[in-house]
Structure 1
Amino acid sequence: MSLESMIIKKYFKQNDQTPFKVIFKDGEVLDMGEGDPKFVINVNGNIDKKLLLSSTSLALGEAYMDKTLDMEVGDLYDALDILLGKLDEFDVDESALSKLIFTSTSKKNQKKEVTSHYDIGNDFYSLWLDETMSYSCAYFKNQDDTLYEAQKNKVEYILKKLQLQEGMTLLDIGCGWGYLLIEAAKKYKIHGVGITLSEQQYLKFKERIKEENLEEYLTAELMDYRDLEKSNLKFDRVVSVGMLEHVGRDNYNLFFKNVDSVLKDQGVFLLHYISGRKEHPGDPWIKKYIFPGGVIPSLREIIDIGSEFNYYTLDVESLRRHYQKTLLCWYSNYKDNIDKISEMFDEKFVRMWELYLASCAASFHNGMIDLHQIVFSKGNNNTLEMTRDHLYK
């Protein structure tokens, strides 16, 4: 019996699980569960055994990328939805993978890590994101909302949580392609600044500001959050959507210190980020191929750090299931455009991103990761809405 076969039996020995089949290159067949298999996996070669024992996810991820593992029947998401339900049981030797898992949190290195993901190319992202170019969790108010409608819902929801008023100033840390600030300026006539480390996003945001004739209201900046403290800028509101995951656990206090330096007293700070149940250094495959240096904060550590800066926690909401649905939309769009993507990148890259989108959707579905929106006030503020009614009007 091969090591791969032993590991599969170790993780998937329950009789009541979703049935699936694994076919090995030597002819061995494993039928897991009872009934017709929902999917069939082919093991076309040997998986790196040393790597399999030091990081199950990295070994399996690389095996899928190079087609050592492949799907014969069924959808990749369905397989991952079952596989990632066992993620807590996967082997991870942090000491052997320390250089991969624990990368430098220096400004220079983190800029390199962030741009390696977001500067792949706007043409690539536009193939599977929606028209708003929003690369973060959407908000599905209705089950039949399109991705575009759900992304518009998300931005509207965030702006309501910020309780904006005309003439206020708003900072977006990690502004992406700028859609949130554009909507804030158009609807509330705020004056906003968006900062990003991605040159591709910065250039596109500047272009969109000009197209919308919002030069009077909005500014895009190529800026590290660490430079806010010396910027002499001040804002009534600060928002950060999907950026905290790139900060690194060692820098959470530094991040809050810089937010605090630009947020006015009694100002509101909305933080939207992928969260973990507990503090964890991150998945080795994701850190090697998708988000170098990425770390998912836990909810409790961010709440705790906020309180140390005298920030009052006004609202906490989980949008986990919304992110699973968002990712399934991206995954579907990606597959629909896979021929175009294959003209842009090699097969290994194409399979890598397919695996990334499907595995993240499965991780949210399994509750391995969550998405939280936290609304803080800087100090005590008795002028804000007392109920959540304003969010649903």
Structure 2
Amino acid sequence: MTTLKDFGGAARGTTAPKLTIAQMFETLLLRPAPVRFTAYDGSAYGPEDAAFGLDLKNERGLAYLITAPGDLGLARAYVSGDLDVRGVHPGDPYEGMVTLLRAMRFRRPSAAQALTLMRSIGLSQLVPPPPPPQEHLPRWRRVMEGLRHSPERDGKVISHHYDVSNRFYEMVLGPSMTYTCALFETEDATLEEAQHAKYDLVARKLRLQQGQRLLDVGCGWGGMVRHAAREYGVRALGVTLSREQAEWAQEKIREEGLEHLAEVRHLDYRAVQETGFDAVSSIGLTEHIGIDQYAAYFGFLRDKLRPGGRLLNHCITRPTNKPTATGAFIDRYVFPDGELTGSGRIITEAQDAGLEVQHEENLRVHYAMTLAGWCRNLEAHWDEAVAEVGEGTARVWGLYMAGSRMGFERNEIQLHQVLATRTDDEGRSSFPLRPDWVG
């Protein structure tokens, strides 16, 4: 079979043979991989009985891979249906992704080898096809939507991710409609039990009591708001930038007869006028606000608390505080403008805003388990999900959730809860000698 060694003739002025797509795939591998690769030109690589494989269906898929190397090109080809992963369900491609990640390592070709590859591919494949409709604008073009992390631009990118379809989210998230990390108190706990346990942990860390007032920023479909009102008799206000979330949450509040205690508004958290809250919860919002906005964010939340009030910040973090760019797939398809940093930066910014940090906890493994549950739900409801949002969008979600599960398992991302108080000028925090939510 023709390999990279045969490229030498091209550099010396002779004509190297054109390669099939499977030959190009094989020659770019650092080592043999136990996967089956097939391409639309009829070529194939790898054992026929491989558990997992890749099937490149057409020229557009090849053009996606060539013109956007890395995760963006793979995502475009997969989301468009031009590249299939065989041996897995698109609602939960986790097992195949793990195998492919471990098995496949690619080399960077020399200049002469790259020229021969381009000759085999053909110039027509070097023109980028239009991206799938699920892809958001690149960052440099989002300036048309306003300054980064301005209320206007935040509203648009939040809508891109959350205003997909409430029915779709019901299928993926389950009855709790909770799109944040759950808390598994036992290995065999159900997803619903784990989400209830998470909300209750937040409530106990905030020391919620009947008659108190809670502000929940980035409240999603109102899970924390309803839990606080129903289980603790707290007057709870939630705010979200997603209109569909707010409408769903208000309807659920009415169904549960909680209108006298709970409210969800379609509103930017920065527009909340009320003050003097006993507690503030932020569950999954910090990822969206931008690292440069942390000082204003924590300062704003501090000012919403009464002296002695508590703040619980629950967010995805990185295992390092060093600046790290967001991957192209996540930025274009999942969380446009999203930014992550380490828990150290979260704690530093909270402290610098005048909050006293009392406790922090890493729930990394719990998020991997949460994502596994969401993938199972998507697989179980695949046909209905595709009918609701289209196969491309459903593929985005399967790919994103399975990939995120891998990230949490491999300690590439984490989930931290940081608990802080608005301690007064005399040093009074109303915090007990030991944590009062344990036991």
Verify same fold: TM over 0.5: yes
Give how far 1:27 is off: 5.1
Q: Distance in 2 between matches of 1:14 and 1:382?
A: 59
Counterparts of 2:231 and 2:87, CA distance in 1: 48
Q: Quote the RMSD (CA, aligned, Å).
A: 3.2
Counterpart residue number, 2:57: 44
- 1:242–1:272 contact (8 Å) kept in structure 2: yes
Structure 2 counterpart of 1:233, from 249, 269, 275: 275
Contact residue 23 and residue 42 of structure 1 kept, 8 A: yes
Q: Does 1:108 align with 2:152?
A: yes
Query: Which residue matches 1:330?
Result: 374
Q: How does 1:7-46 map to 2 (within 5 A)?
A: 13=30, 19-26=34-41, 28-31=43-46, 37-46=50-59
Q: Is the 1:100–1:288 Cα contact (8 Å) retained in structure 2?
A: no
Q: Is the 8 A contact 2:21 2:41 kept in 1?
A: no
List aligned pairs for 1:64-143, cutoff 5 A. Answer: 64-74=78-88, 76-82=93-99, 98-99=139-140, 104-143=148-187
Cα distance change, pair 348–211 in 1 and its aligned pair in 2 (3 A): closer
Indicate the residue corresponding to 2:198 in structure 1.
154
User: 2:388 pairs with 333, 338, 344, which one?
Assistant: 344
Aligned to 2:223: 179
Q: Secondary structure at the match of 1:148?
A: helix
What CA deviation, in whole Å up to 9, does each residue of 1:286-330 have, x standing for no partner? 221222222223212211111211222221111111111111111
Per-residue deviation at 1:146?
Answer: 1.0
1:391 maps to 2:404: no
Code of the aligned partner of 2:164: I
Unaligned runs of 5+ in 2: 1-18, 109-137
Q: Which residues of structure 1 form unaligned runs of 5+? A: 92-96
Quote the Cα distance in structure 1 between the aligned partners of 2:87 and 2:210: 55
Does structure 2 conserve the Cα–Cα contact (< 8 Å) formed by 1:84 and 1:359?
no
Give the 3 Å change call, closer, same or farther, for CA 345–211 of structure 1 in structure 2.
Answer: closer
Q: CA deviation at 1:120?
A: 1.6
Greater CA drift, 99-108 or 152-161? 99-108
One-letter code aligned to 1:315: H
Given that 2:275 and 2:306 are in contact with CA atoms closer than 8 Å, whether structure 1 keeps it comes out as: no
Structure 2 counterpart of 1:262, from 304, 307, 320: 304
**Separation in 1 of the partners of 2:206 and 2:107?**
40
Corresponding residue pairs, total: 381
Say which SS state the counterpart of residue 315 (structure 2) adopts: strand
In 2, the alpha carbon distance for the partners of 1:86 and 1:386 equals 51
Q: Which moved more, 1:199-208 or 1:137-146?
A: 199-208
Say which SS state the counterpart of residue 415 (structure 2) adopts: strand
1:275 aligns with 2:321: no
* Counterpart code for 2:349: I
1:94 aligned partner: none
Which deviates more from structure 2 when the two are superposed, residues 352-361 or residues 189-198? 352-361
Instruction: Give the counterpart letter for 1:72 in structure 2.
Output: R
What is the CA-CA distance between 1:265 and the residue it aligns to? 2.1
2:413 alignment counterpart = 369
Q: CA deviation at 1:255?
A: 1.3
Shift of 1:274: 1.0
Structure index of larger Rg: 2
Q: Pick from 61, 65, 72: which aligns with 2:75?
A: 61
The whole-number CA distance in structure 2 between the counterparts of 1:200 and 1:127 is: 16
Deviation at 1:148, TM superposition (A): 0.8
- Take 2:428 and 2:23, find their aligned partners in 1: how far apart are those partners? 59
CA contact (8 A) 1:243 1:273 kept: yes
TM-score (norm. length: structure 2) = 0.78
Distance apart, 1:29 and its partner CA: 4.4
2:96 counterpart letter in structure 1: A
Q: Report if aligned partners of 2:164, 2:389 keep a CA contact under 8 Å in 1.
A: no
Q: How far apart are residue 59 of structure 1 and its match? A: 0.5
**Alpha-carbon displacement from aligned partner over 1:35-54 (angstroms, at most 9, x marks no partner):** 97441222234556686575
1:114-162 superposed Cα distances (whole Å, 9 cap, x missing partner): 1222122211111121212111111111111111111111111111111
Which residue is 1:218 aligned to? 262
Rounded Cα–Cα distance in structure 2 between residues aligned with 1:354 and 1:252: 31
Which structure 2 residues correspond to residues 188-207 of structure 1 after superposition, within 5 A? Answer: 188-207=232-251
**1:165-212 C-alpha deviation (Å, 9 max, x unpaired):** 222211100111112121212222222111111111111222222222
Identity between Structure 1 and Structure 2 (%): 29
Map of 2:119 onto structure 1: none
Alignment-mate amino acid for residue 355 of structure 2? Y
Distance 2:156 2:300 in 1: 21
> SS at the partner of 1:127?
helix
Q: CA deviation at 1:376?
A: 1.3
Q: Deviations over 1:6-54 (max 9, x none)?
A: 78876x7478x9x43333444554449xx97441222234556686575
